[in-house]
Amino acid sequence: MCGIVAYIGHREAYPLIIKGLKRLEYRGYDSSGIALLNDGLNIYKKKGKVVDLEATLINENLTSTIGIGHTRWATHGEPNDVNAHPHYSASQNLAIIHNGIIENYSSIKKNLIKKGHVFYSDTDSEVLIHFIEDIQVNTGCLLEEAVRLAMKEVVGAYAIVIMDATNPSQLIAARKGSPLVIGVGDDEFFFASDATPIIEYTNEVIYLNDYELAVVRDGELTVKNIDNILQSPYIQTVELELEAIEKGGYEHFMLKEIYEQPRSVADCMRGRVNADSGLLVLGGLRDYVDKLAKTKRIVIVACGTSWHAGLVAEYIFEELARINVEVEYASEFRYRNPIIKEGDFVIAISQSGETADTLAAIELAKSKGATIIGVCNVVGSSIPRATHAGAYTHAGPEIGVASTKAFTAQVTVLAMMAIAVARKKGTLHEDTFRRLLFELERIPSKIETVLKTDEKIKEIAAQFKDSRNFIYLGRGYNFPVALEGALKLKEISYIHAEGYPAAEMKHGPIALIDEEMPVVFIATKDSSYEKVVSNIQEVKARKGKVIAIVTEGDKLIPTMADYTIEIPAMHEALIPLVATIPLQLLSYHIAVLRGCNVDQPRNLAKSVTVE
């Protein structure tokens, strides 16, 4: 879970790499470093943020047209200057940056120590570059061949870029399980974990596949597979505007992304939904809607916020399409020897499209004969390439580590999918189908309405910024909203929070209720409204502080709750798309008032590319 940037060409490498690392810092921000060829192979690295590294280099001569850079989220070894990347080989002629985990590094390290190798860090990455050089020295082969041979020996995941002091016109990269994209410019090449550091210079990119090795030498790029067979890489045009990865005047990326949701949800539906003509088309699923309508079982695999989106989808699919749905944590699914049969559908949800556990779950399900559908945001990422079909969310880049617009976009796609399947299956009356399309088209304007309550939510946040615990409660479609609200608060404010089905409060959590406990209810006008009202009364009887998300015009709950936030009325199945907005804002404002780093919360990284 690290950010990789590398460059070779005619430009000065240092300013390009530093800017790229800042754009990738959401992927890891424990430490950072760069390596440049300038009177030798020089590595500069520092614990902390990229700006901390930058401050140490003010008086250095950084002139070079080739360089590699890295921003780290620690896996092997604590965050410090020594464990930061890049790492030298034994001779210090090679330097490596690495994203991923080498699982068998310990046995490799023991063998290398027996040969006299000395290691200075605790990382698996330093072991890898020593191993590659050891192969090169003992076989007399070219560096690219040593990398290829090492790829056959190491177990785990990696995206690596290697620089060689003895060959200043060469960069070598390889990948397995961790993302790596190559930007193609005019007599120049860029390497990065994703396209955000590249888009300022070129929109022509190559997505390296697993077990592929790329070599830039003397201005030419070649790509081979692990069996040394030359590949013909496909150059794609990235549709990404530079403005989309800038803050645009907002204090934080997270706030910007919360406010982008009217547009991102609309973009998700553009060309897919037209209520006036009764149109609902998901082009990426055109050949699979019939099969989905006939399946008896859908398994949804995801992690984190995407798992919560999957829970919402479970309710929608089961109610509208009457298909049995199970929602699994990808990390548990892959280790549990799950029962998957031919004819089952597995829907894999991931914002980045690179989530390691979800990718592993996909491969397991495919091996058992399931049909895999992907729901992702990042075009060209690994999960869309690993699935049979799918749909992009078109939410645009999400830089804030705590996911916001990705959640609402995922729920939108999954809702459209469920509606399309239900109509094909005949479990959805035509009048209800049309109503749902009209309701979907109005979601962006309803989100805009909720965003206007921001100042009120900020005032509520001020009352609870010093709280040590929160409970979030909801029923039915709003239970996953409660889970997502609690997760957002935990992620960015470091306040302990739990989400529960409201009915389950009496089976344990009610013991925690006292005058110091804030309880957030998602209490909209739906089929379980009266039950939730009873739950609120139970909390108030124990002096709990109630914050309630209610339907516009509700007269009853405001008489009981300490604070209420109104959202517009809508079809019950679509409430999560709007009810989650005030919870995002509440978490954001509490975190800001507590002085937390909203965009880069401690210990978290955006794209979890390790298992």
From the candidates 109, 224, 488, 606, which is the catalytic residue? 606
Topology of 248-446 in CATH? Rossmann fold (3.40.50)
Residue 108 has a pLDDT of: 95
For the domain spanning 3-244, the CATH number is 3.60.20.10
pLDDT of residue 250: 85
3-244 matches 452-598 in fold: no
Is 606 tagged catalytic?
A: yes
- The phi and psi torsions of 375 (rounded to 5 degrees) equal -125, 105
Please provide the distance, in angstroms rounded to a whole number, between the alpha carbons at the two ends of the chain: 10
At 399 the pLDDT is 83
Sequence spans of domains, the chain: 3-244, 248-446, 452-598
- How many whole angstroms separate alpha carbon 583 and alpha carbon 20? 32
The span from the CA of 192 to the CA of 183, in Å, is 8
pLDDT the model gives residue 606: 52
Distance CA 22, CA 49 (A): 9
Q: Can you tell me the distance from the alpha carbon of 217 to that of 8, in angstroms, rounded to the nearest whole number?
A: 9
pLDDT for 608 equals 55
Q: How open is the CA angle 524-525-527, to the nearest 5 degrees? A: 110
Instruction: List the CATH code of the domain at 452-598.
Output: 3.40.50.10490
Check if 452 is active-site: no
Q: Indicate the pTM of the whole model.
A: 0.80
Neighbours of 142 (CB within 10 A): 15
φ/ψ of 22, rounded to 5, equals -65, -35
Q: Write down the H helix ranges in 32-171.
A: 50-56, 105-114, 124-139, 143-153
Catalytic option among 2, 268, 303, 596: 2
Divide the 611 residues of the chain into consecutive groups of 10 and give the mean pLDDT of each group: 89 95 80 93 93 92 95 79 93 94 92 95 94 96 95 91 96 91 94 88 91 94 94 84 68 93 94 92 89 94 95 97 95 88 94 87 92 90 89 87 93 97 94 95 97 97 95 95 96 94 82 86 91 89 92 94 96 96 97 91 61 50
Residue 521's DSSP bridge partners are 473, 548
Q: How far apart are CA 577 and CA 33, in angstroms?
A: 40
What pLDDT does 243 receive?
A: 59
DSSP label of 548: E
Each residue of 438-454: b (16+ CB within 10 Å) or e? ebbebbbebbebbbebb
